[in-house]
């Protein structure tokens, strides 16, 4: 809001448009340097004058505008000071509008977003949290900007891993044990296969033969595979429900089995397949990439073929305008190759395919591995987080109604926020004690701030409809007599409200949910400074109380919206 106003005021006096001005405006490092600053250095060449002279002239012109903005030239900068008496109630009123900050930038655009994608018959470990929650947050943020989004859980339900599992089950498994604990027993069998194969390499050949029988439709093998898939999905869905995650489509790799041969035929017809040491590849020399392996020496297809078929299906059948793949950073080369092959196939939309990589998650500094059985079960982490939240709540607020529900919201939210606050490419070392803390840069801190605001509004008898029905004149009158409503802390909190849409834009531009999470931490800090700066509710200052409650309501509205975008519950009592 303030940036748009600043750009509109500056534009008549400079040879650049408002959009460029919005990109050039800066937030000074200290409040004493203004609310915004405009650097004039880039104008020196076109206006043929020193930056300091341009800044002085711009400041004089803006000070004559009567727009509630004071301009001050400082070297080559114009520092802008917005008058809180003019702008605070405008900012708060705008932030209280239900559609505040929403845009239609994505109208008419369809994003298909690939996320989570666990392997069947393996547990959802804490490492799966990243793809799942980064993807869910991005889907919500894109929808906030008007995009149509289809989320897809691309299950790993095919491949030689099933041959290994089938061999392990037939060698050491027990049906009754498997039915009682399908995921745990499947993991045990999978780990044992790799331990035994280290001593008996022939087991790898047996696994390939077992998977070949599955591909050929052997009834007994297919029935066992279907059991693994069905039982895995029951467990996955239970955990997804705890996380509040839903998918528009759940399509495993097996869904594309009948779509692979058409891709191979097309690659052959276009002359893109070349023999290399007995295998078939597509060369990507012009992309500066190694060849993309399409068929192994034994003629078996490999992952790139399946991902080519998947991309073609999503663009042609699902009618996607943009394809996003929220997959770990270790797959960067793979996706560059797949997108490169699509380009060589003549698919111009290959440029609309984007890998959204993320860094590794470790647990107390240790890397996790399914093959070695070093897996930290996500469900157990959520349970532990909820238990810790329950202990903290019992100590801080033993009389809290519905404590178990709140503990679940806080515990699960702590785990999710603890991931999403980090830039996605950073590796994350998950430490439960840190993420469940009610202090510092944590989910519980943001949730507690939201609950504090809800409590304030209840105690103050805040009625949004009643306040807004007084109209702009009534609100302005409240502020005019509000005394303490114009504290430095109140103004800092109000200014933070104006940065909501920028946080959403930054998140979409960089596919970075942390932009929203960091904004929420900043807004929480600014509100809490305002809260501690003086009493919000003062019985002898009705007008000031209404003004301060209105600011609190605006901050609470954006915190609630932000938590929802990140897939985190917003309890009103904690």
Element of type H or E holding 37: strand 36-39
Residue in the structure block whose two tokens are 């830039």:
423
CA torsion angle for 315, 317, 321, 324 (degrees, to 10)? -60
- φ/ψ (deg, to 5) at 364: 55, 40
Q: Is the dihedral of CA 427, 431, 432, 437 positive or negative?
A: negative
Nearest to 248 by CA among 134, 104, 416, 111: 111
Query: Is it the case that residue 399 has pLDDT exceeding 80?
Result: yes
Would you place residue 361 in the very low, low, confident or very high pLDDT band (cuts 50, 70, 90)?
confident
What confidence score (pLDDT) does residue 367 get? Answer: 63
Break the chain down into helix, strand, coil percent, rounded to 5: 60, 10, 30
What confidence score (pLDDT) does residue 300 get? Answer: 78
Mean pLDDT in residue range 388-396 = 93
Mean pLDDT in residue range 180-201 = 92
Residue in the structure block whose two tokens are 């690939």:
114
Query: Is it the case that residue 485 has pLDDT exceeding 90?
Result: no
Highest mean pLDDT among 54-68, 112-126, 197-211, 513-527: 513-527
Q: Give the C-alpha separation, 84 to 66, whole Å.
A: 14
Would you place residue 374 in the very low, low, confident or very high pLDDT band (cuts 50, 70, 90)?
low
Question: What value does the mean pLDDT of the chain take?
Answer: 92
| Least trusted range by pLDDT, from 49-53, 464-468, 515-519 | 464-468
More confident residue, 127 or 28: 28
Nearest to 551 by CA among 493, 500, 501: 493
**Token digits of residue 482:** 């509000």
Nearest to 382 by CA among 573, 138, 124: 124
What confidence score (pLDDT) does residue 342 get? Answer: 98
| Least trusted range by pLDDT, from 134-143, 364-373, 458-467 | 364-373
pLDDT in tens, 147-179: 999 999 999 999 888 999 999 999 999 989 988
Q: Which residues contact 230 (CB under 8 A, 6 or more apart)?
A: none
**Token digits of residue 228:** 């693994």
Would you place residue 389 in the very low, low, confident or very high pLDDT band (cuts 50, 70, 90)?
very high
Element of type H or E holding 273: strand 273-276
Query: Is it the case that residue 476 has pLDDT exceeding 60?
Result: no
What confidence score (pLDDT) does residue 462 get? Answer: 93
The domain ranges of the chain are 2-82, 110-363, 378-565
What confidence score (pLDDT) does residue 298 get? Answer: 80
Would you place residue 68 in the very low, low, confident or very high pLDDT band (cuts 50, 70, 90)?
very high
Q: What is the DSSP letter of 104?
A: -
What confidence score (pLDDT) does residue 432 get? Answer: 80
What confidence score (pLDDT) does residue 468 get? Answer: 57
Q: Give the C-alpha separation, 243 to 19, whole Å.
A: 39
pLDDT in tens, 403-446: 999 999 999 999 999 999 999 999 888 788 888 888 899 999 99
Q: In what order do the strands lie in the sheet with 273-276?
A: 273-276, 279-282, 292-295
| Least trusted range by pLDDT, from 154-168, 186-200, 465-479 | 465-479
Q: How far is CA 267 from the centre of its chain?
A: 36
Nearest to 130 by CA among 423, 483, 542: 423
What confidence score (pLDDT) does residue 364 get? Answer: 67
287 contacts 336 by C-beta, under 8 angstroms: yes
Instruction: State the burial class of residue 375 (Cβ atoms within 10 Å of its Cβ: 0-12, 13-18, 19+).
Output: buried
Element of type H or E holding 384: helix 378-396
567 contacts 139 by C-beta, under 8 angstroms: no
Nearest to 87 by CA among 474, 559, 486: 486
Q: Give the C-alpha separation, 512 to 150, whole Å.
A: 18
Mean pLDDT in residue range 3-17 = 94
DSSP string covering 487-527, please? Answer: -HHHHHHHHHHTTHHHHHHHHHHHT-THHHHHHHHHHHHHH
Any idea how long the chain is? 574
460 contacts 443 by C-beta, under 8 angstroms: no
- Please name every residue paired with 458 in a beta bridge, in sequence order, or none if there are none: none
Q: What is the DSSP letter of 483?
A: G
Mean pLDDT in residue range 41-53 = 95
**Token digits of residue 225:** 């595979």
Q: In which region does residue 570 sit, left (phi positive, over 0), alpha (psi from -120 to 50) or beta (all else)? A: beta
Task: Tell me the CATH number for domain 2-82.
Answer: 3.30.1360.70
Nearest to 333 by CA among 377, 271, 367, 288: 288
Query: Is it the case that residue 211 has pLDDT exceeding 80?
Result: yes
pLDDT in tens, 96-124: 999 999 999 999 999 999 999 999 988 88
484 contacts 534 by C-beta, under 8 angstroms: yes
Mean pLDDT in residue range 335-352 = 97
Query: Is it the case that residue 314 has pLDDT exceeding 70?
Result: yes
253 contacts 159 by C-beta, under 8 angstroms: yes
Query: Is it the case that residue 460 has pLDDT exceeding 60?
Result: yes
pLDDT in tens, 229-239: 998 999 999 99
Nearest to 500 by CA among 224, 258, 223, 145: 145
- Domain 110-363 - what CATH class? alpha beta
Would you place residue 466 in the very low, low, confident or very high pLDDT band (cuts 50, 70, 90)?
low
| Least trusted range by pLDDT, from 82-91, 248-257, 428-437, 529-538 | 428-437
Instruction: State the burial class of residue 341 (Cβ atoms within 10 Å of its Cβ: 0-12, 13-18, 19+).
Output: buried
Percent of the chain whose pLDDT exceeds 70: 94
What confidence score (pLDDT) does residue 565 get? Answer: 98
**Token digits of residue 345:** 């196939």
Q: Give the C-alpha separation, 233 to 353, whole Å.
A: 28
- Domain 378-565 - what CATH class? mainly alpha
550 contacts 432 by C-beta, under 8 angstroms: no
Mean pLDDT in residue range 261-275 = 97
């Amino acid at each position: 809001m303030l940036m748009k106003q600043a750009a509109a005021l500056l534009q008549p006096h400079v040879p650049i448009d408002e959009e460029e001005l919005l990109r050039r405006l800066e937030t000074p490092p200290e409040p004493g340097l203004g609310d915004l600053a405009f650097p004039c250095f880039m104008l020196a060449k076109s206006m043929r004058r020193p930056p300091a002279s341009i800044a002085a002239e711009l400041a004089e012109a803006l000070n004559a505008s009567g727009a509630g903005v004071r301009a001050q030239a400082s070297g080559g900068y114009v520092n802008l000071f917005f008058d809180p008496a003019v702008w605070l109630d405008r900012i708060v009123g705008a932030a209280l509008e239900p559609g505040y900050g929403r845009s239609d930038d994505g109208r008419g655009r369809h994003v298909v977003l690939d996320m989570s994608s666990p392997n069947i018959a393996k547990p959802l470990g804490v490492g799966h949290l990243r793809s799942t929650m980064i993807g869910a947050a991005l889907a919500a943020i894109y929808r906030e900007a008007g995009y149509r989004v289809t989320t897809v859980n691309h299950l790993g339900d095919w491949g030689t891993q099933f041959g290994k599992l089938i061999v392990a089950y037939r060698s050491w498994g027990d049906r009754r044990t498997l039915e009682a604990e399908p995921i745990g027993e499947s993991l045990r069998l999978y780990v044992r296969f790799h331990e035994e194969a280290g001593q008996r390499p022939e087991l790898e050949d047996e696994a390939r033969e077992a998977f070949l029988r599955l591909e050929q439709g052997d009834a007994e093998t297919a029935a066992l595979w279907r059991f693994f898939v069905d039982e895995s999905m029951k467990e996955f869905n239970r955990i997804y429900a705890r996380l509040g995650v839903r998918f528009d489509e759940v399509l495993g790799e097996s869904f594309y089995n009948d779509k692979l041969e058409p891709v191979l035929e097309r690659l052959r017809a276009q002359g893109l397949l070349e023999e290399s040491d007995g295998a078939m590849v597509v060369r990507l020399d012009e992309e500066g990439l190694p060849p993309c392996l399409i068929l192994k020496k034994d003629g078996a297809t490999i992952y790139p073929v399946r991902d080519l078929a998947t991309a073609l299906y999503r663009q042609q059948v699902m009618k996607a305008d943009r394809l996003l793949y929220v997959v770990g950073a270790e797959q960067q080369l793979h996706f560059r190759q797949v997108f490169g092959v699509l380009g060589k196939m003549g698919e111009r939309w290959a440029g609309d395919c984007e890998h959204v990589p993320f860094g590794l998650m470790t647990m107390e500094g240790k890397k996790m591995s399914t093959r070695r059985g070093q897996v930290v079960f996500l469900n157990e982490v959520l349970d532990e987080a909820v238990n810790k939240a329950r202990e903290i709540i019992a100590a801080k607020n033993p009389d809290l109604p519905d404590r178990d529900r709140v503990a679940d919201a806080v515990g699960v939210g702590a785990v999710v926020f603890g991931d999403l606050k980090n830039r996605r490419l950073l590796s994350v070392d998950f430490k439960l004690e840190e993420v469940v803390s009610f202090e510092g840069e944590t989910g519980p801190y943001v949730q507690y701030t939201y609950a504090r605001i809800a409590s304030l509004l209840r105690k103050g008898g805040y009625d949004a409809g009643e306040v807004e029905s007084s109209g702009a004149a009534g609100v302005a009158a409240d502020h005019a007599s509000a005394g303490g409503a114009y504290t430095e802390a109140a103004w800092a909190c109000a200014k933070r409200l104006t940065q909501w849409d920028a946080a959403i834009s930054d998140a979409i531009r960089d596919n970075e949910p942390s932009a929203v999470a960091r904004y929420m931490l900043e807004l929480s800090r600014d509100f809490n400074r305002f809260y501690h700066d003086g009493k919000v509710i003062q019985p002898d200052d009705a007008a000031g109380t209404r003004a301060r409650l209105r600011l609190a309501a605006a901050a609470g509205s954006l915190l609630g919206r932000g938590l929802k975008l990140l897939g985190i519950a917003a309890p009103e009592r904690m």
